[in-house]
Amino acid sequence: MKKKKSEGSILLTIILAICSIAWMYPIFMILMNSLKVESAITTAGAFELPTGETFAGLANYANAINSQGFLASLWYSLFITVTSVIAIVICCSMCAWYISRVQSKISNALYYLFVFSMVVPFQMVMFTLSQTADMLKLNNPYNLWVIYLGFGAGLAVFMFAGFVKSIPLEIEESAMIDGCSPLQTFFKIVLPMFKPTMVSVGILEAMWVWNDYLLPTLVLDIKKYKTIPMLIQYFRGSYGRVSMGPMMASIMLTVIPIIIVYVLGQKHIIKGVAAGAVKG
């Protein structure tokens, strides 16, 4: 019996190792090509390691940073991601707490509306969204968090509501007996207990917002504002020629921060998802 378990664990480890290598290989290939000279990045040589003749050092990274307004785009992406995640975490945790504690037809209807929003395809609303954003002056990086709050609320409320059901109601009742108002109860008692789910929701939403290309392209004025995913599409020369070296370098500069965030918070993601899966 023990042998079977050990053989099963070894097989599972091998499968996970193979999957990890397969997942990391595209990133490794982008890294290799970001260190090559432009002439070496071809269909035939894309899978070859840099040599003494093809090695470009950090020249592609310098070109990526110094051209196309990379630093401005980095600021826009960073601002949009941080403000959107903060808004989603704070607003959705409060909403989920209210829905879970106030048992009424309205709160139940709100909960199912949030859950339903997760399965609505973005393509159904994107044209209407673009017109509405222009009308409400949301077509700039400093107001885009409002739209991300709406689209990210479904998953966040679902996870927070599942976690609230695991919190004993007596803790909140004790706080109210001691004189805490509902807001004080939430921010002093409930919010600190939300930490695992807050971290997991924050990381998942940050990965989505940081890498999103379609929504900013539809909403933002691309002549004035470009996020990092949008900027990558503009590494083009004359006659449609693509500057592959700087493009690969910009992709690496875009991918590395979010990978670091994910690696540092992956254990919290598992805890948060498990905590949000509690059934009432």
User: Which residues lie closer than 8 Å to 196 by C-beta, 6 or more apart?
Assistant: 163, 268, 271, 272, 275
Residue 20 has pLDDT above 90, yes or no: no
The answer to whether residue 81 scores a pLDDT higher than 90 is yes
Between the alpha carbon of residue 268 and those of residues 95, 187, 198, 255, the distances in Å are 22, 21, 9, 20
For residue 31, count CB atoms less than 10 angstroms from its CB and return exposed for 0-12, middle for 13-18, buried for 19 or more: middle
Residues 92-118: tens digit of each pLDDT: 999 999 898 888 888 888 888 888 888
The mean pLDDT value of the chain amounts to 82
Per residue in 253-264, pLDDT (tens digit) is 888 888 887 777
What is the rounded average pLDDT of the residues 110-138? 85
DSSP letter (8 states) at residue 220: S
pLDDT at 78: 92
Q: How far is CA 245 from CA 125, 248, 255, in A?
A: 36, 5, 16
Q: Could you read off the pLDDT of 44-56 as tens digits, one per residue?
A: 777 778 887 788 8
pLDDT > 90? residue 9: no
* Cα R_g (the chain), whole angstroms: 23
Q: Which residues contact 222 (CB under 8 A, 6 or more apart)?
A: 230
Q: Which residue has the higher pLDDT, 164 or 238?
A: 164
What confidence score (pLDDT) does residue 93 get?
92
> Looking at beta carbons, which pairs linking 135-144 to residues 24 or more positions away fall under 8 Å?
138/219, 139/219, 139/220, 139/221, 140/220, 140/221, 140/224, 140/225, 141/76, 141/79, 141/80, 141/220, 141/225, 141/227, 142/79, 144/80, 144/84, 144/215, 144/216, 144/219, 144/220
Distance CA 254, CA 256 (A): 6
Collapsing DSSP to helix, strand or coil, 36 comes out as: strand
Most confident of 4-8, 9-13, 31-35: 31-35
* pLDDT, tens digit, 9 for 90 and up, residues 143-183: 999 999 988 898 899 889 888 888 888 888 888 888 888 88
Least confident segment among 42-46, 235-239, 248-252, 264-268: 235-239
Distance CA 171, CA 168 (A): 6
Are the CB atoms for 235 and 247 separated by under 8 Å?
A: yes
Q: Band of the pLDDT at 90, cuts 50, 70, 90?
A: very high
What is the reported pLDDT for 280? 44
| pLDDT tens, position by position, 21-74 | 777 778 888 888 888 887 787 777 777 788 877 888 788 888 888 877 888 888
Per-residue model confidence (pLDDT) at position 79:
95
279 has a pLDDT exceeding 50: no
Torsion of CA 258, 264, 268, 270, to 10 degrees: 70
The phi, psi pair for 139, rounded to 5°, reads -90, 45
Position 137 scores a pLDDT of 87
Q: Is the pLDDT of residue 4 over 60?
A: no
Percent of the chain with pLDDT over 90: 13
Local confidence band at 273 (pLDDT 50, 70, 90 cut-offs): low
State residue 224's pLDDT score.
86
Name residues whose C-beta falls within 8 Å of residue 274's C-beta, 6 or more positions apart in sequence.
none
Q: Which pTM was predicted?
A: 0.82
